[in-house]
């Protein structure tokens, strides 16, 4: 541990995490033995806690104080863009690896509920910090971490060695898990998924836990805590989250022009008006609730200088689209819909369902995974969320 880490940075972040309830006594020794600075590269892009903004690069060689301040702040740090294809100083097109927000790291470890003697599988090694924490708590021989990017895996192994903690890091598709070392008591994904791979369930002991960020193509995401039971798994969502997607599950989105088939808007769309403001469906929670109901749908926003914008909603098959025009201060909004799926009608219905049930938060929802597929539920597995396709 460096002298800098022993100072206010390490202790200050620990105090904040303890006060928030994220860092508990059983993880404090691991936090101190594996300080975050040992698992962060010299060039980072600090974010904000809610993940909505990204700051330009901070280079340790050029501004060590700013680098240490970022490392020991409760914020996510992007460490790679565009699968390694971007190396500039601003930001790339898509963040592809990071050091997660410490509050989220320790909240998920609390969800994981490890016990002495447990064997743990991590999907998404990243910088290696989370797997180092697990290795300190459980013993390196009991931790396996999967990373798809060979260069990131190499850097994580080096970080582990410097910290004196060396869990097994394997380069492969995370969906496959690690059958060579199965069964595991705990499986944790530090990348988001839209489908729980069958292999993770098969490689987890009955009664074991799978903790992962989960979300639909529409938007919104939360941590799910699944208990494996025989042939499937089920459990509640525990908190909101915003993680980078597992690379093999990144949603492929058809270009906008393909929906309009080269014709200018409104193409063959049907015009109508709605009293539901497009702004009402943009929040992370409402996106999550709507996404659970609208299978294979996603949206984008086209913003204009006067504060107005168009909310576009698309079906994943390329056959249906809808536009809803937001104007500040308006009481009704123009809608255009095209294709076999009336996507704005479905959006309104999904919003109304969520609103009628008291606008339930993430923690009231849950997920059941079986060989037949995935099914989200509200309050109980016996109360499935309706799905419109």
pLDDT in tens, 252-297: 889 999 999 888 889 999 999 999 999 999 999 999 999 999 999 9
What CATH number is attached to the domain comprising 115? 3.40.50.150
Do residues 140 and 264 both lie within one domain? no
Q: How far, in Å, CA of 11 to CA of 8, rounded? A: 5
Question: How many domains in the chain?
Answer: 2
Is residue 301's pLDDT more than 60?
yes
Do residues 125 and 274 both lie within one domain? no
Do residues 15 and 125 both lie within one domain? yes
Write out the catalytic residue numbers: 100
Do residues 45 and 84 both lie within one domain? yes
Sign of dihedral through CA atoms 314, 320, 324, 325? positive
Do residues 18 and 119 both lie within one domain? yes
Q: How far, in Å, CA of 246 to CA of 115, rounded? A: 27
Read off the pLDDT of residues 67-83 as tens digits, 9 standing for 90 and up: 999 999 999 999 999 99
Do residues 279 and 161 both lie within one domain? no
User: What mean pLDDT is reported for the chain?
Assistant: 95
Structural domain of 9? 3-247
Cβ(166)–Cβ(140) under 8 Å? yes
pTM of the model: 0.95
Is residue 144's pLDDT more than 90?
yes
Average pLDDT of 341-357?
Answer: 98
Residue 17's H or E segment, with its range, is helix 8-20
């Amino acid at each position: 541990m460096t002298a800098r880490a022993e100072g206010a940075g390490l202790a200050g972040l620990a105090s904040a995490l303890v006060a928030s309830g994220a860092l508990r006594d059983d993880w404090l020794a691991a936090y101190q033995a594996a300080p975050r600075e040992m698992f962060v590269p010299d060039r980072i892009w600090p974010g904000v806690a809610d993940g909505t903004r990204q700051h330009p690069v901070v280079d340790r060689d050029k501004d060590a104080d700013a680098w240490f301040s970022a490392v020991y702040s409760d914020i996510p740090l992007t460490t790679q863009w565009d699968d390694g294809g971007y190396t500039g100083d601003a930001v790339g097109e898509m963040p592809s690896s990071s050091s997660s927000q410490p509050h989220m790291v320790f909240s998920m470890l609390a969800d994981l509920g490890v016990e002495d003697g447990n064997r743990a599988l991590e999907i998404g090694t990243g910088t290696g910090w989370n797997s180092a924490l697990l290795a300190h708590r459980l013993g390196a021989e009991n931790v396996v971490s999967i990373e798809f990017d060979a260069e990131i895996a190499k850097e994580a192994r080096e970080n582990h060695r410097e910290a004196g903690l060396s869990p097994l890091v394997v380069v492969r598709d995370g969906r496959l898990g690690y059958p060579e070392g199965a069964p595991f008591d705990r499986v944790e994904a530090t990348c988001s998924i839209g489908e729980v791979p069958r292999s993770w369930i098969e490689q987890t002991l009955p009664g074991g836990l799978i903790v992962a960020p989960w979300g639909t193509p529409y938007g919104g995401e939360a941590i799910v805590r699944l208990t494996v039971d025989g042939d499937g798994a089920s459990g509640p969502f525990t908190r909101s989250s915003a993680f980078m997607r597992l690379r093999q599950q990144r949603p492929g989105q058809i270009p906008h022009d393909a929906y309009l088939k080269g014709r200018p808007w409104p193409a063959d769309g049907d015009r109508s008006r709605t009293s539901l403001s497009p702004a009402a469906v943009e929040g992370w929670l409402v996106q999550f609730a709507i996404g659970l109901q609208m299978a294979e749908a996603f949206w984008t926003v086209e913003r204009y200088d006067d504060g107005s914008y168009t909310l576009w909603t698309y079906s994943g098959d390329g056959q249906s689209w809808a536009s809803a025009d937001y104007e500040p201060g308006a009481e009704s909004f123009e809608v255009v819909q095209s294709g076999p799926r009336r996507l704005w009608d479905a959006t309104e219905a999904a919003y109304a369902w969520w609103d009628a049930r008291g606008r339930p938060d993430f923690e009231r929802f849950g997920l059941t995974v079986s060989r037949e597929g995935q099914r989200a539920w509200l309050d109980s597995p016996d109360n499935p969320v309706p799905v419109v396709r």
